[in-house]
Homo-oligomer: A and B are copies of this chain.
């Protein structure tokens, strides 16, 4: 392990972060389990990329079979991309019926922003002030945690993210009003400065924002303002999509939002580098007229085979229903944990947050970090989220069972009882 750390610094640079103070050398994954080089087993309560479980045999088989048969690009015809397109778009509302396949969520968001530019002829974007939508030069402009080189461009406006209804947040009504007013203000500024407003990009469950509870209707006023201004709404479903939230396939459905563009990434092909942009035919037409996009690896037969297999397993194994049932069970159990720092336990399908506020009413940042390390020691992998990093983030693979939930939450209860502060 030390050898790997030394080589990482040597070959990848000095500043390559790992999870945990004592990084884990993982050598094997299976279902919801990860194994390190010492044979220690960890319950994965963090990774959404292995969506249907680490190394799912059906996905592995699909990748292996297709890789042995053909891997080429979409300038030739192949069945994979059209079959997948048909399967995937059937999971969206009728108007979201066309797609571009790419390799990462970042590439998808980079395209989505340009689609909004192509449609509106304007270049101003709004996102929240504590988000992450990817790593390309353009998309990183929307990021607060990884600010772009040279600072944010003047065509980007970052407005305050909603906070959860804890001592740090206001009421649902107040937050919805504030969000709408901030959106309106940003649009007016962009228009007054001659940049113009192209669109709003958001994660519909505000995952990186700390996963606050937002009620259906939260965005209603904001949507009205955006539509009136002629801007587009882009729903980044990299974290919220593919049934993660249990009640719906997509996060925007949960919010009652009808986005113009949806972007997909991480869980889409269970770890194979696949992302996509889904949109309406008129938006696609504007984009394709304005820009001749082609992605060599995007939609290649192996990527499509992996994505198709992932989608099939999700349905065949009823994993969305599982996310809803186990999600509800685990949330109740999480709410049952008692600790003076717990401000709120929240969940949406198989995505959970446990927020800690200390005795002074401040985000318990160090405490939350300590819990993450201690959980790792006891064989449960999770991490932190939110502006203050005072919320535990639990987002396990979708085949998470009742027994897995019991183990994770009982371990957490033990750790918390051993850590009074």
Contact = CB atoms under 8 A, between A and B. Distances in A.
Interface string A311-354: 00000000000000000000000000000000000000000000
A71 interface: yes
A292 interface: yes
A256 to B, nearest CB: 26
Interface string A16-34: 1111000111111100001
A295 B68 CA distance: 27
A292 B16 CA distance: 9
Nearest to A292: B146
A17 B72 contact: no
A117 B150 contact: yes
A110 interface: yes
A263 B78 CA distance: 29
A71 B54 contact: yes
Contacts of A64: 60, 63-64, 67-68
A272 interface: yes
Contact of A28 (B70, B82, B146, B272): B70
Nearest to A70: B29
Interface residues on A, range: 35 or more
Given A103-B103, A117-B149, A296-B104, A13 B98 contact: yes
A75 interface: yes
A290 interface: yes
A210 interface: no
A59 B64 CA distance: 10
B290 A149 contact: yes
Contact of A292 (B26, B77, B145): B145
Given A27-B78, A107-B104, A11 B72 contact: no
Most B-side CB within 10 Å, residue of A5, A70, A113, A293 = A70
B114 A76 contact: no
A131 interface: no
A81 B4 CA distance: 9
A69 interface: yes
A303 B17 CA distance: 20
Interface in A58-97: 59-60, 63-64, 67-79, 81-82, 85-86, 89, 97
Q: How many copies does the complex hold?
A: 2
Interface stretch (A217-225, A280-288, A409-417): A280-288
Interface stretch (A133-141, A172-180, A182-190, A228-236): A133-141
Contact of A77 (B5, B107, B284): B5
A38 interface: no
A283 B229 CA distance: 43
Contacts of A285: 13-15
Most B-side CB within 10 Å, residue of A54, A77, A272 = A77
A160 interface: no
B149 A118 contact: yes
Given A117-B149, A136-B136, 9 more contacts: A4-B79, A7-B86, A13-B100, A13-B285, A24-B76, A27-B70, A54-B72, A72-B271, A107-B107
Interface of A: 1, 4-5, 7-8, 10-19, 23-29, 34, 47, 49-50, 54-55, 57, 59-60, 63-64, 67-79, 81-82, 85-86, 89, 97-100, 103-107, 110, 113-114, 117-118, 123, 135-138, 140, 145-150, 265-266, 270-273, 281, 284-285, 288-297, 300, 302-303
